[in-house]
Amino acid sequence: MADNAEILTGLAEIVEEVAGIDTAEVTPEKSFVDDLDIDSLSMVEIAVQAEDKFGVKIPDDQLAELKTVGDAVSYISSHQ
């Protein structure tokens, strides 16, 4: 089981690969849509990769609720 810091690092790597955003930019308070300019299809790609990496399920309706990087870290942490 990964702790929150490890989840954040892993998630930042996925965001960098999918959306080309530097890992340093991916911090908990950032909004995926408003701050990082990630569109809905890229969010699906990030979710699919996060599912593989952390062994969680992130259905589309849950995905829509994950507004910030911090939301995603908390979700993954509590569903591992």
Partner 1 sequence: MTTRPRTPLRLAATAPGARLLGMGSTQPDNVVTNDDLAQRMETNDQWIRERVGIQSRRIAEEGTLLVDMASDAGAQAVKDSGIDPTEIDTVIVATCTMPTPIPNAAAQTAERIGIPAPGAFDLNAACAGFCFGMGTAADLIRAGSSRHVLVIGAEKLSDWLDWTDRSTAIIFADGAGAAVLGPAPDAESVGVGPVAWGSAGDLAQTIHIRPENGALAQEGQAVFRWATTKIAPVALRAIELAGLAPSDIDVLVPHQANLRIVEAVAKRLRAKGAREDMVVADDIIHSGNTSSASIPLALDHMRVDGRVRSGDTVLLVGFGAGLSYAAQVVTCP
Q: How many residues bind partner 1 (CB under 8 A)?
A: 10
Total residue length of the chain: 80
Q: Which of 25, 63, 71, 77 touches partner 1 by CB under 8 A?
A: 63
- If one asks whether residue 9 binds partner 1 (CB under 8 A), the answer comes out as no
CA distance 2 to 31: 22
The phi and psi torsions of 73 (rounded to 5 degrees) equal: -60, -45
- If one asks whether residue 39 binds partner 1 (CB under 8 A), the answer comes out as yes
Torsion over CA: 70, 71, 73, 74 (sign):
positive
52 is known as an active-site residue? no
Measured from the CB atom, is 8 or 50 closer to partner 1? Answer: 50
Contacts with partner 1 by CB under 8 A lie at 39-41, 43-45, 47-48, 60, 63
